[in-house]
Structures are given as structure tokens and as C-alpha cells.
Structure 1
Amino acid sequence: MTETSPDSLIPYDEIVQEALRAVVGRVLGEVERGGGLPGDHHFYITFKTHAAGVDIPRHLIERFPDEMTIVIQNRYWDLIVRPDEFEVGLSFNSIPSRLVIPFAAITGFVDPAVNFALQFQAQGDDDAVEQTPAGNDAPIAEPIEDGSNVVSVDFTRKK
């Protein structure tokens, strides 16, 4: 006889996602307070472009109607971290832009320098949260060859 587990009345998935998104906020906050990225650290941050609270230029929404990945590495400025969002200046095709991204909109965070990655459910998505701190399971990030701060990230796991 197979027993089925009852539905939880505690929203564990939401609590875990909120806690892991707080990791992203804490890391960005430390970069903000420290005045820059330490060592070889750099971040690929993937987010839903139409999520509530996202404020990015229209030309980026048109180019990335669902999701986009930005790079926080050498060419960023005015990083401001708030409790529920961050703001950063980036250049796209030599056009300076200001982006405001709520942590709830983030679907992926990668620091390739230390092979660390977090993948989140999109709001309303039923996929599982994955944490990939080491090994061959880290997402593959490929820079887009247009001189912008956008990369293509493949979150599929290597076998």
C-alpha cells in the first residue's frame, strides 16, 4: 500500500525561495557596501522582464519579452540594493540604461568564478527550486557577441 503525504499547510517552497532570494540580496548588498566586486567574482542574473516591479527600458523589453540575463562584472555603475529589489546601471549596445529588478523577479543567479548557482521558480511556476553550489551542475553562460551586458544562460543540468 502506498501512502500519500498530505498537502502542507505551510508554504515551504515559498519560504525557501524567499530565503534563497535573500542570499542574492545579501551578496549584492556586500558588493554595494564594498564598492565593487571582490577578486574574480561576477554575476549572471536572470529575471522575468514583465514581472511586477521590473523597470527596464522599453527596447530591452522588446528584445527580451519574457526573460533576460544581465552581467554584473566590469561595466556597471550605481548599484543600489534595497530590501525587495536592486537597481543597477548597465550599458546595452553602448546605450547606458538603468534597471530596477525586484528579487521576486529573479529566476537565476550565477557566480561562475566559484561555480555557484541558484535557480528559482518564476512567480506562479510549479518547478522546483534548485541550488547548484559546485561540480558539473552549474548553468552554462555564454556571452552574447554584441558588446552588451547580456548573456544567454542554459540552466539544464549536465549528465
Structure 2
Amino acid sequence: MTEPPENQEPPDSLIPYDEIVQDSLRQVVRRVLTDVSNAGGLPGAHHFFIAFRTRFPGVDMPRHLLERYPEEMTVVLQHRYWDLLVADEHFEVGLTFNQVPAKLSIPYKAITGFVDPAVNFALQFMVNMPEPADEPPPPPVVVEGESGSNVVSFDFKRKK
């Protein structure tokens, strides 16, 4: 195999490795939620923090929550959730916000983070969301993990 000269960067890949890895890791979230749904609840001390982009296409949530969380929201699946439905492209769950029940539908591609603090496990995701043409994209958010944690973070950048 020929290596590029030291001062030359390798060419852009024609294979979308970053998307393939992101999709594979999202299947971890789907599998975990499926197992929890099939078991009828969370085992032991496990609980999940799931962060997602609220304006991602396919997200369905009450308007008052969207107004309160116009960009991103984190939900907690621990003691009080119901009707967890896991589908191929999204999951649905009932939660209470300020004692008001709400049903959310969240596509896996909208998820930016999945954390199970009971076992110090975390995944972070890049969300490719179309930005309005007249607004610059928001700056990237950097999340630092504690040493010894099981945080998996992928920050793939594609050259244009």
C-alpha cells in the first residue's frame, strides 16, 4: 500500500465511514431500549439520559416543551415513564414534565447523547441537521469525560 507524502493529507473517502459508524452506534441505543421494553422495565440501578435535537425532522413532542427546549432536550428514563415503544427508526415514550404527562416520539438520528450513569457508559452522536440558509451553524459542543469512564465520542469532519 502506498502512503501519501508526509505533507499531503490522504484523499477524502468515497465511503461514508462516519455515517456508517454513527448508524451502528445508534443501533446500540435501539437494542438497549428494545431489551428494556421486552423486560418490562429497567434492570437494577440502570437509568438513561437521552439528549436529542428537538427540531429534528420526525421528532414529535408537545408544543410547550418545544418552546421551552427549542434546540436540544435531555429526557430521563428511570422510574416514571410508560408506553415505551421501540421501532426501527424511532422510539416513543410517555414522561411527566412538571406533573403534566406527555408523549414523545424521537428518531434515533435525532439523538445527540445516550448515558447510563449507573455503569458510567455514554455515547455521543453527531446529528446532521439542515441549517437555515440565513443562519450560521451553532458552534460544536465539547463534552469532557472523566478519566476511566466508558465515553465513546466520535467527531468526524468532512471536508467540502
- Aligned residue runs from structure 1 range 13-28, under 5 A: 13-28=18-33
State how far apart, in whole Å, the 2-side matches of 1:120 and 1:10 are. Answer: 19
Query: RMSD over aligned Cα, in angstroms?
Result: 2.5
CA contact (8 A) 1:48 1:105 kept: yes
Unaligned runs of 5+ in 2: 1-5, 130-136, 154-160
- Aligned residue runs from structure 1 range 1-159, under 5 A: 1-124=6-129, 135-136=148-149
State how far apart, in whole Å, the 1-side matches of 2:27 and 2:147 are. Answer: 20
Structure-2 change in CA distance of 1:15 and 1:105 (3 Å): same
CA contact (8 A) 1:44 1:69 kept: yes
Partner of 1:141: none
Kindly state the Cα deviation for residue 136 of structure 1 after the two structures are TM-superposed.
4.5
* Structure number with bigger Rg: 2
CA contact (8 A) 2:48 2:78 kept: yes
CA contact (8 A) 1:55 1:99 kept: yes
Answer 1 or 2: which has greater strand percent: 1
CA contact (8 A) 1:115 1:133 kept: no
Q: Which amino acid aligns with 1:86?
A: F
Q: Which amino acid aligns with 1:59?
A: H
CA contact (8 A) 1:116 1:133 kept: no
CA contact (8 A) 1:32 1:80 kept: yes
Q: TM-score, normalised by structure 2?
A: 0.79
CA contact (8 A) 2:121 2:150 kept: no
Q: TM-score, normalised by structure 1?
A: 0.79
State how far apart, in whole Å, the 2-side matches of 1:6 and 1:133 are. Answer: 34
SS in 2 for 1:113: coil
State how far apart, in whole Å, the 2-side matches of 1:88 and 1:4 are. Answer: 45
State how far apart, in whole Å, the 2-side matches of 1:41 and 1:83 are. Answer: 23
How many residues end up aligned between the 2 structures? 137
Structure-2 change in CA distance of 1:39 and 1:133 (3 Å): farther
Unaligned runs of 5+ in 1: 139-154
| Greater displacement, 117-126 / 95-104 | 117-126
